[in-house]
Amino acid sequence: MRLVGLALVVAALIAAPGARALEVFACEPEWAALVRILLPEARITVATHAGQDPHEIEARPSLIAALRRADAAVCTGAGLEAGWLPMLQSRAANAKVQPGQPGMIEMARFTRLIDPRPASLSPFSGDVHPEGNPHFHLDPSRWPELARGLAQALTRLAPGHSTAMAERARAFEARWAERTRGWQARLAEAKRVRVAVQHTTFAYFFAFAGARVVADLEPKPGVPPTPGHLSATLGALRGAPPHAVWIATYQDARPARWLVGQMAGVRLVMLPATVDEAADESALVRWFDTLVGALAEVIAAVPAASLARSSGAAG
Ligand SMILES: [Zn+2]
C-alpha cells in the first residue's frame, strides 16, 4: 500500500509541470468569479475590489508582479481599464497578456454593448466610454454568452481542460436560466419605476429590469457631478421626481444625498457594483439577489396612484 501511495505521489510530481494551474489575472472580481466557475483549478489574482472605482486604480508593484506571471488576463475591455491596464501591461512586460494575444481576454468581445458614441465625438468629448457602456456584467441575461465566450478563450490556453470547461459552461447556463427567470418575475413591474443614477454603472441592470433611467448626476460619463448640472437636474426632475437615486458604494454619495434631500419620497439606494474578490457562483447569485431585492423594494413603495399614472403615460 505504501509503495502504491509513493508511486502515486511520484506520478503526481512528474505530471505537475504540464498540469500546472493556469495563473489568471482578473481585472475585476466578477470575472474572477466566472473563472472560478469554469476553471476552479486556476490561480487567480484580482486587480480591483467592489470598494474601488474600476476606471481608476493605482498600478501597485504587486499587481505588476501578478500580471508578469499570468498566463491569462481576463478584463472587461471596451476602454474600462484604459486608465491603468496599459501601464501594467507595459511594466509587467509579459508577452502572453499584451493586447491582441490569446492570453489577453476582453469580455466585451462576447457581448453587444449599449450606447456606443459616434466616432467623431470620442476623442475630445470628455466621455470615458466612447466605445459603449462597459458595465455589462450588471445584466444577468448576458452571463450565459459571457460564460461560453470565456470558456472558449480559456480553452486556447488550457486545451486539456476543454471538455470540462465546456460542460461547466453548459451546466452554468442551465442553472442561470432558471435564476434569471426568477429575477425577471420579481421585477415584472419595474417598468413603472424611474431612477436617477450617477454614472452609467447600473444601466444594464435597469435595461434588464425595464426600469427607466431619467437622470444622470454626471454631466458626461466619467465627469463628476457639478453644482450647475445638479441644479439643472433637480429642475428637470421637479415635475416627475424619480422613485430612487441609485448609486454604487464606491461613489461619493454627497451629490445623491443632496438631490434626495431636495425632493419628497425619493429613496437613496447604494449598492456594490460587483461581487467580493473571493466570490464564487453562489456569491454572484447573492449579489444579483441583493440588486433585484432592492429594486423590488422600490417597486413596492411606488404609490398605486403613481403606478397608474406611470403606466397610463407609458401606454
Ligand atoms: Zn463607466
CA torsion angle 303 306 308 314 (round to 10)? -140
Could you tell me the residue ranges of all domains in the chain? Answer: 8-117+127-182, 189-314
* Among the listed residues 194, 307, 302, 298, the one whose alpha carbon sits nearest the alpha carbon of residue 240: 194
Domain 189-314 is found in CATH 3.40.640.10: no
CA of 272 relative to ligand 1 center, distance in Å: 14
Q: Which residues contact 47 (CB under 8 A, 6 or more apart)?
A: 25, 26, 27, 28, 57, 63, 66, 88
pLDDT band at 306 (very low <50, low <70, confident <90, very high): low
CA of 129 relative to ligand 1 center, distance in Å: 6
CA of 250 relative to ligand 1 center, distance in Å: 12
Flag whether pLDDT at 39 surpasses 70. yes
Q: Which residues contact 117 (CB under 8 A, 6 or more apart)?
A: 125, 127, 129, 130, 131, 132
pLDDT band at 116 (very low <50, low <70, confident <90, very high): confident
DSSP calls for 149-209: HHHHHHHHH-GGGHHHHHHHHHHHHHHHHHHHHHHHHHTTTGGG-EEEESSSTTHHHHHHH
CA of 104 relative to ligand 1 center, distance in Å: 20
Quick one: how far is CA 34 from the chain centroid? 11
Sheet with 72-75, strands from edge to edge, namely 43-46, 23-26, 72-75, 104-106
Q: Which residues contact 260 (CB under 8 A, 6 or more apart)?
A: 245, 266, 267, 268
State the pLDDT at residue 1. 44
CA of 79 relative to ligand 1 center, distance in Å: 9
The tens digit of pLDDT for each residue in 197-229 reads 999 999 999 999 999 999 999 998 889 999 999
User: CB–CB of 269/247 below 8 Å?
Assistant: yes
For the domain made up of 8-117+127-182, give the CATH fold: Rossmann fold (3.40.50)
CA of 216 relative to ligand 1 center, distance in Å: 12
Report the alpha-carbon distance of residue 276 to residue 33 in Å, rounded.
9
Domain 189-314 in the same topology as domain 8-117+127-182: yes
Partners of 44 in the β-ladder: 24
The tens digit of pLDDT for each residue in 171-190 reads 999 999 999 999 999 999 99
CA of 38 relative to ligand 1 center, distance in Å: 26
The identity of residue 31, as a single letter, is W
CA of 222 relative to ligand 1 center, distance in Å: 6
State the pLDDT at residue 201. 96
CA of 134 relative to ligand 1 center, distance in Å: 6
Residue 13's CB is within 10 A of a number of other CB atoms, namely 9
CA of 4 relative to ligand 1 center, distance in Å: 56
State the pLDDT at residue 117. 74
CA of 199 relative to ligand 1 center, distance in Å: 6
**Residue written as cell 511520484?**
10
CA of 292 relative to ligand 1 center, distance in Å: 21
**Angle ∠(67,70,71) on CA atoms, nearest 5:** 145
The model's pTM is 0.90
Residue 135's CB is within 10 A of a number of other CB atoms, namely 26
Task: For the chain, give the number of residues.
Answer: 315
CA of 68 relative to ligand 1 center, distance in Å: 26
Instruction: Record the cell numbers describing residue 66, joined without a space.
Output: 501578478
CA of 52 relative to ligand 1 center, distance in Å: 12
The tens digit of pLDDT for each residue in 216-275 reads 999 988 899 999 999 999 999 999 999 999 999 999 999 999 999 999 999 999 999 999
CA of 200 relative to ligand 1 center, distance in Å: 6
Q: Which residues contact 233 (CB under 8 A, 6 or more apart)?
A: 196, 215, 216, 217, 259
Report the alpha-carbon distance of residue 251 to residue 224 in Å, rounded.
10
State the pLDDT at residue 20. 78
